[in-house]
Structure 1
């Protein structure tokens, strides 16, 4: 089975200019006229065409509403608000398009998107945010999204389950064994009568090899299952260690961006 055909794997993301990409000037006029949370949710739901069931719908609208409130508190104009809403949307789509951990790619993508809107280099980038605004926005994205990227991924991506079936070569299938076992009680009386007619030595000769064969098969099955469980536990342990190493590396990278909690009050 091709894993990539079933589950989308992390890949490199290319930034682009997002000014008026999702939120037009008329949309910003409507958003600026809304001052209550329900009104903002209703306006943003129409702008971004949020058509997902709960709880995804509520989480997504809350993300957009808080972004609008942050833009108002930071005195960002309509162009900047439109671009930042699209940046948040792109980061969220990049994070939730795959079940696998791609936080490192998402963080690099976030920095490239902000750089694409802070340097005047047409047609590749525009000077929309100042360096101070970029730092302020990056801290906001870190605190509101990147720190909770696992929660967003858990809500918006399907869970991956491994379903394995083992086939033992050279051994009878379970269906045949079950059919033989179910047919045995029907001929039990006939088997008893046959045993009375057979010598005792013949009975011993016919039953001992069959019991030994069944016992060896059970032992073989138990040994294979035990070995398989040990190998799977080893693989899971290696995956958990790799995820922990990636998380520690990302935390050390993002540590300088965390706000100083002991700064000015």
Structure 2
């Protein structure tokens, strides 16, 4: 996943992901299970039972089509709105960084491309009332759960750390030495017993010498972890407040547009 978002330009997207043949099959489907199976076949999401990301994407596509059915959209409108949702989701997944403002801006640009007749740049596929319904639906479903989508599709990063301290002697690895064959029939030899005793004494000496250092490292790590935890919790609270403020702003925009329409 790239850390930099691509620059996307809104274009007319009718028949982009669902063509006429797809829409004919979808219109014949009667049950929710059949519709999910059809969508899984269209977009290669057959592993949704074992892959959580595929399951999330399948649910997004399924409820998008359910909304189109509830609003009694035509084939062209259904295909277009499905592609708008799909394009918005792909924009969200382009970067693990927060890009909700960019996604919402791109979503509105796509929607406006299909709400005014200005060929070849836009077409009047949706009327004003449908635009408001679509905006309200996407805000209340996708953008309200924007952070959950971002979390589900952001790869987990694991950091492995190895520490080395100046002044600490690192025991050299014992070299394999050739030893003459011994007769074990009469029990362990005296040389072997002496070697085991020396090894045990060496281990005890090393443990006694490094015990204070280990305790110091443990205390320092606990302090660092506590500071890091408090910093992360503060960032999470700050991000949550910013997200709530942005979401409130997005919810107010359709209301303002509808109020202007009534004044006209």
- TM value normalised by structure 1: 0.70
Q: 3-state DSSP class of the match of 1:8?
A: coil
Match of 1:203 in 2: none
Structure 2 residue runs without a partner (length 5+): 175-193, 256-264
> What is the CA-CA distance between 1:111 and the residue it aligns to?
1.5
Q: Residue 68 of structure 2 is aligned with which of 68, 71, 84?
A: 71
| Alpha carbons 1:117, 1:127 under 8 Å: kept | yes
Match of 1:256 in 2: 252
After superposing on structure 2, the runs of 4+ consecutive aligned residues of structure 1 that deviate more than 6 Å are 188-191
Q: CA RMSD in A?
A: 3.5
The answer to whether structure 1 residue 34 and structure 2 residue 29 are counterparts is yes
Match of 2:197 in 1: 186
| Alpha carbons 1:19, 1:79 under 8 Å: kept | yes
| Alpha carbons 1:31, 1:43 under 8 Å: kept | yes
Q: Distance in 1 between matches of 2:199 and 2:101?
A: 67
For residues 142-157 of structure 1, the aligned pairs below 5 Å read 142-157=139-154
Equivalent pairs counted in the alignment come to 230
- How far does the alpha carbon of each residue in 1:155-190 deviate from its partner, in whole angstroms, 9 at most, with x for none? 3433334433333234334xx2898xxx99722899
| Alpha carbons 2:115, 2:126 under 8 Å: kept | yes
Q: Distance in 2 between matches of 1:190 and 1:70?
A: 75
Match of 1:194 in 2: none
Q: Distance in 1 between matches of 2:153 and 2:160?
A: 22
Q: Residue 221 of structure 1 is aligned with which of 217, 221, 230?
A: 217
Q: 3-state DSSP class of the match of 1:165?
A: coil
Q: 3-state DSSP class of the match of 2:242?
A: helix
For residues 45-84 of structure 1, the aligned pairs below 5 Å read 45-54=40-49, 55-84=52-81
| Alpha carbons 2:5, 2:91 under 8 Å: kept | no
Q: 3-state DSSP class of the match of 2:59?
A: helix
